[in-house]
Every structure is written in structure tokens, then in C-alpha cells.
Amino acid sequence: MWGITCAIAFENPVETFLNKILTDAKAQSAVEAQLLEEKGEILDAMNETVESNKEILGHVRDLVYNVRTEVKEIQPLRESVEKMKTELSGLRKEVKRLEEKANFQNLCPTCGKPLLPEFRICPYCGQEIKLHQVPVIALKDYK
């Protein structure tokens, strides 16, 4: 018994068991600490990415707001351009009508259509055209 008592006293199995558990726990804690450190670096990188994306999204939001404001300012301009196009179309028609009057100085007295000076009969209604005789002035009398 004395031998067993000495063995127990010098080599306590409970103490050995507890030391082994503590050593294993320390080793596991070191592995977990290293794992947490690695994961922490990943989490830090993810946090930086989220922060930079937040700034970028803020800039995008500001740009979208600015574009919407400019579009609202452009809308009245667009309406003005459309109005000017309509007015320009009317002016073109008027210019064309005036050019026709300049080119066709003779009008049919019956139907009112423009005629070329060499027409003697209206091609539209068949009315005979009486020419307005322009008096011819001799060059020596013109002075």
C-alpha cells in the first residue's frame, strides 16, 4: 500500500488528467485564436469593402439626383424645341407659297391657280388667259 500511496503522491492521476486537459485546451485555444485572427482579417476586409461601397452608392445617389434635376430642366426646353419646329414648318410653307407667287406671277382669274407666263389657257380649269400687255419702252426713251 505504501507503494501505491507513494505512486499516487508522486504521480497523481487526477493532476495528470487535469494537466492534459489544460494543455489540450491551451492548444485548442491557440488554434481558435489563430482561426479567429484569420477570420478577423477577412471580416476587416469585408467591412472596408462595405464602407467603400457605401461611399460609392452615396456618389451614385447624388449623380442620379443631379440627372433627375437636369431632366426636369430639359423638359421645358424640349417642349420649346417642338413648338419651334412647328412654327418653322409653317414658315417653310409660307416661304414656298411666296416663292410660287414670285415664279408664277400670273393667276387664273377663274380658279386662282398660279400659271406660268407662257400659258395662254389655264391647265386647271381651261379658261382662256388674257395677257396683260407690258408696254415696251425703247432704250433711248428709257433714259
User: Which pLDDT score, from 0 to 100, does residue 132 have?
Assistant: 56
The full set of domain ranges for the chain reads: 2-103, 105-143
Higher pLDDT, 82 or 3: 82
Average pLDDT across the chain, whole number:
81
Read off φ and ψ for residue 115, nearest 5 degrees.
Answer: -130, 150
Cα 105 from Cα 5, distance rounded (Å): 144
pLDDT digits (tens, 9 = 90+) for 52-99: 999 999 999 999 999 999 888 888 888 899 999 999 999 999 988 887
CB contact set of 115 (below 8 Å; sequence gap of 6+): 104, 106, 107, 108, 122, 123, 129
**Count of CB atoms within 10 A of residue 135's CB?**
4
CB contact set of 116 (below 8 Å; sequence gap of 6+): 104, 106
